[in-house]
Amino acid sequence: MMPWLLDMWWHDVCFMHWRVDAEIVTRALPPAVLLDRFDGDAWLSVVPFWMSDVRPRFTPTLPGFARVPELNLRTYVSLGAQRGVWFFSLDAASRIAVESARVLTALPYFNARIETSERDGTIAYSSVRADTRAAAAGTLAATYTPHGEIRTATTGSLDAFLHERYRFYSQRGSKLLTARIRHEPWSLQAVTTTIESNTLGDLIGHPLAPTPDYATFARRLHVQATTTARAAARE
């Protein structure tokens, strides 16, 4: 078992979820990875947030990692009995974070110009991919306002399916890799979203509608992770 070596906080996490065409998403996955469904539906999610205090365990925050905005496009998969997340893209506004994550995790991180701000409880988020390694341009311009009571996911619910996953998969060449994260259950709220531009789905040939089918928000979460991905196996 890999040790927990990376420590960080995630902030202002907005999960925007779409029901999607399972055939299109499956074509973008490695053959060994199975697309998960909830009540027959496959899901694709756009997740803007920002990280703080990213550091190896027992050390101070690394230079350039005090505040790192990130944006990802993800779906939900399993390998054998192990459920996890598959990331199609991860955009970050830190070149050192992008390059180190690519080496350590084999995740498809890309450099991006990201701006985020909050006013009167509404968060504005703007990201433009700026990386020639990406097969498609990726942009997001959105605002979102959390509201309502805070809840945790109940077992067997859509919230649990979409949020409570503690493993991700990636690929380096023909080799499938996995790494783990751990944290307390998500403290979720309802959120109202307004999307002006979103081209992230174009990367896998699945443009997304202007309004997500479902959206949630979490203000803050402490996360630990393994720093390197290892070979994945069915368990």
Which residues lie across from 113 on neighbouring strands?
128
- The count of residues in the chain is 235
Please answer whether residues 42 and 28 qualify as being in contact, where contact means their C-beta atoms are separated by less than 8 angstroms: no
Q: Which CATH number does the domain housing residue 222 bear?
A: 2.40.400.10
Q: Which pLDDT does position 67 carry in this prediction?
A: 81
Q: Is residue 158 domain-resident?
A: yes
Q: Which pLDDT does position 135 carry in this prediction?
A: 86
The residue range of the domain holding 160 is 6-231
Domain count, the chain: 1
Q: Which pLDDT does position 44 carry in this prediction?
A: 98
In percent, how much of the chain has pLDDT > 70?
Answer: 90
Q: Which pLDDT does position 9 carry in this prediction?
A: 93
DSSP 8-class letter at 208:
-
Extract the residue ranges of the chain whose pLDDT is less than 70: 1-3, 57-66, 227-235
Q: Taking CA 102 as the corner, what is the angle to CA 48 and CA 172, rounded to the nearest 5 degrees?
A: 115
Q: Which pLDDT does position 81 carry in this prediction?
A: 87
Please answer whether residues 161 and 206 qualify as being in contact, where contact means their C-beta atoms are separated by less than 8 angstroms: no
Q: Is residue 1 domain-resident?
A: no
Task: Name residue 210's amino acid.
Answer: P
Please answer whether residues 100 and 64 qualify as being in contact, where contact means their C-beta atoms are separated by less than 8 angstroms: no
Q: Which pLDDT does position 60 carry in this prediction?
A: 67
Q: Which pLDDT does position 5 carry in this prediction?
A: 75
**What are the contacts of 29-32 at 24+ separation with CB within 8 A?**
29/75, 29/77, 29/86, 30/171, 30/176, 32/79, 32/176
Q: Which pLDDT does position 233 carry in this prediction?
A: 59
Q: Which pLDDT does position 2 carry in this prediction?
A: 57
